[in-house]
Structure 1
Amino acid sequence: MTRLWGRASALLGRSGAHPGTSGRVSTSRSHADLDRLSSHIILPSIHVTDEEMARAAYQDRGLYLARQEMWDQLAQQIRQADHDRTATPGGESAAMLLAFGARSDVISMAEDALHDGVAPKPDGIDAFESVAQEHPGAYPIQLIVALAHLDMFWAWHAIPAANTLDSAPSKARHHAGRAHALLEGLCGFEEDAPSLVAAHCALSGALSTTARGHEPRIADHFEDLIDLDPASPRHMRALGAAMLPARMGSYRELELEARRTAVRTGDVWGAGAYTWVYFDALAQDAGALTLLDAAFFVDGLHDILRRRPDQHSANLLAAFCAVTMRAGIEVAPADRTARATLHDSLTWILRDHLHELHPLIWTQALHRPGAAPLPSRKALISEGRRTALHAIAAQFADDIGRGQSIAFSPSGMYMLPSP
């Protein structure tokens, strides 16, 4: 595939200068120096994005309908979202967000109890079970309850304070078993419901932790899911994470599934599926660089942004290149060239595609989910903005040092004389 470095009309500055192309973020510059350089960057910052608003709207709708016990209406809306493949601007499934909102009250109370080292009361999950019995033919209701059990499984399995309770192993197994019983016999293809297939994939991940020697056909489940809903990058990202050695695969299987997925979805994503499958895997395990075809990955970055030229995607991929693939992360010597190749893509993503900053995306690239309690939203936004501006400032430090300011607009990145 053709690899594009950038459109010349967008790269040339209004003053006729051309921004630097070093592609290396300096690790020797101090925060104070980067703060000074950042003051010469003109980039609008969006604190509440269309993606956030869309996710919140679907989750809030699911929560409201569950609280009002409007189960038939909730089931109908999940069915419709599945059938229409309704998604947020960033590709998140509306059906899954509705289901998440519907169970969020029950799960948050249970997680709070487990964080305190107390076994949660069964009232909430028992009430869900009663609802499932009252709606035996409604797959969206079975889906909500099954996913609630899977949430409970992971809470008992992963919350440190929960592991101090003697009942933790049996409780975790119970919830995994109930999820299996609820999903058994429900077919995502028959229902035209990607959410059901996604739930089966999540169930396979849970079952693989409960019994030695259990080998769910996780890659087959994900193949079905991606074939049913190829436009969603979330499924491909989840596949890659599942293929890591720490989960249910190996680096060789990760590479194989990335290539197979790219072939099957070429008409939708070009090479983009290869990149999506590796995206979360690389964020979680730098060892995934071992078999990575860096040039193919970069082709995929180009193809994604050609097909999704929105600012959510531009920020997501820029933050990945700048933060996840930054110089200084611990990688094997043989993998440093691949890491640097991915990191260098930051330059053309900034030049050709970015014209507004979504700070929370950059913060998410810094914080692995569940690694530690997160600070306030305001602090996260501030951290994300500073991280992004430091990365941009380091990328174009030579240009700024020559008296230029870096400005971003929908027509491209350009340079202006500093005031």
Structure 2
Amino acid sequence: MSGRPDPKAPLLDGIEALEQVLAEHPEDPVVATIVAHAHMDLAWAWRGTGWDVEVPVRNREAFAAHFDRAGDILMPFDAKDADCPLLAAAHCTLITGRGGSPREVVSRYETWMELDPKNARAFRAMGTQLLPRWHGSYDRLELEARRAAGRSYDLWGTGAYTWVMFDAIAQDSKACARLDLDFFLDGLTDILKRTHDQHTVNLLAAYCANTMGATPTGHDETDYIRIQIAAAADEIVREYLTELHPMLWAHAARGFDNGLRVRCADKFAASGQADALRYLSQLFRRELATGKSIVFTQNGPELQSG
């Protein structure tokens, strides 16, 4: 997102149509959530993802106006009363855009986690928002990651600590340097023990290999942490991977940037496929050197004679 919408884009046509739908269904929390999200998406399109000082006044005003409208739309609806995780997520997006204290931000995310405890996105998003750049501090990030692990231990083991730190340490070198590495790696193991879907396995493998295994930052403490996490990809692939999801590997190589512009989905996926195959070729180089091939089965990778 550049913060510069196409001047020829009919920006108001779509949102006006959605507002009309909302007017026809004023008490429907799902419709309200969809329209509010549309306003918040437009807000971020105006603002971009740069620092505040880099955003022109006109863009900041448009950003604020769309978030104000989203707030008005969501105000009548309580996520807990509606038992609606979608609505809870929208309230999280709202407060992170409009601003709030760390306590308020955490409270919103705790509601989302309570309503949808298996959704790792809630934990990941909270971690990002607790970085000093946004609404928190390094101490608050560590505290809330540990609290999340305690609250969700029956479901994730120590995995919630890992989920909360997941994107935060990829984006912020100081947060990475302060990481409790053993706790994080234990969390990775707990996640994999508790979920066997290949989306999660690919996500974790690609994150370790592509995101944390990327170019060194030049900060010794940060790079040490990243190297240790990157090394965890080997066991994830050997023990848990049964199929390849190229799109996840492509996103991982770009730090899971939600503002990334993908001009061609096929080429983007192909880049992820190439990254994954490059990593797998390196991981299994000794086996491949003997003339054998690696085949991924429902039981994991298996060696076959060429």
Find the aligned partners of 1:123 and 1:165 in 2 and give their Cα distance: 24
- Match of 1:389, as an amino acid? L
The equivalent position to 2:96 in structure 1, one of 194, 199, 205, is 205
- Match of 1:414, as an amino acid? E
Find the aligned partners of 2:183 and 2:139 in 1 and give their Cα distance: 16
Q: 1:371 to 1:196 in 2, by over 3 A?
A: closer
- Match of 1:390, as an amino acid? R
Sequence identity of aligned pairs in percent? 38
SS of residue matched to 1:414? strand
Taking the TM superposition and a 5 Å limit, the aligned residue runs for 1:311-390 are: 311-326=198-213, 328-330=215-217, 332-367=219-254, 368-369=256-257, 373-390=261-278
Taking the TM superposition and a 5 Å limit, the aligned residue runs for 1:6-405 are: 115-118=5-8, 120-158=10-48, 167-208=58-99, 215=101, 217-326=104-213, 328-330=215-217, 332-367=219-254, 368-369=256-257, 373-405=261-293
Deviations 1:224-275 (A, max 9, x none): 2112211111111111111112221122221111111110001111111111
| Structure 2, unpaired ranges of 5+ | none
Q: 1:251 to 1:385 in 2, by over 3 A?
A: same
Shift of 1:380: 2.0
Find the aligned partners of 2:95 and 2:46 in 1 and give their Cα distance: 17
| Structure 1, unpaired ranges of 5+ | 1-110, 209-213
Is the contact between residue 315 and residue 354 of structure 1 (CA under 8 Å) also seen in structure 2? yes
Is the contact between residue 286 and residue 331 of structure 1 (CA under 8 Å) also seen in structure 2? no
Number of aligned residue pairs: give it.
Answer: 301
- Match of 2:47, as an amino acid? H
- Match of 2:79, as an amino acid? G
Shift of 1:200: 1.0
- Match of 2:36, as an amino acid? A
SS of residue matched to 1:241? helix
Find the aligned partners of 2:111 and 2:259 in 1 and give their Cα distance: 31
Shift of 1:346: 1.1
Find the aligned partners of 2:259 and 2:115 in 1 and give their Cα distance: 33
Is the contact between residue 2 and residue 48 of structure 2 (CA under 8 Å) also seen in structure 1? no
Specify the structure having the higher radius of gyration (Cα). 1
- Name which structure has the greater RCO, CA cutoff 8 Å, separation 6+: 1
Is the contact between residue 208 and residue 231 of structure 2 (CA under 8 Å) also seen in structure 1? yes
Q: 1:229 to 1:329 in 2, by over 3 A?
A: same
Shift of 1:145: 1.7
Find the aligned partners of 2:92 and 2:173 in 1 and give their Cα distance: 24
Is the contact between residue 3 and residue 45 of structure 2 (CA under 8 Å) also seen in structure 1? no
Find the aligned partners of 1:382 and 1:370 in 2 and give their Cα distance: 19
SS of residue matched to 1:406? strand
Deviations 1:87-111 (A, max 9, x none): xxxxxxxxxxxxxxxxxxxxxxxx9
Find the aligned partners of 1:227 and 1:164 in 2 and give their Cα distance: 35
SS of residue matched to 1:115? coil
Of 132-141 and 319-328, the range deviating more from structure 2:
132-141
Find the aligned partners of 1:377 and 1:130 in 2 and give their Cα distance: 32
TM-score (structure 2 length as normaliser): 0.88
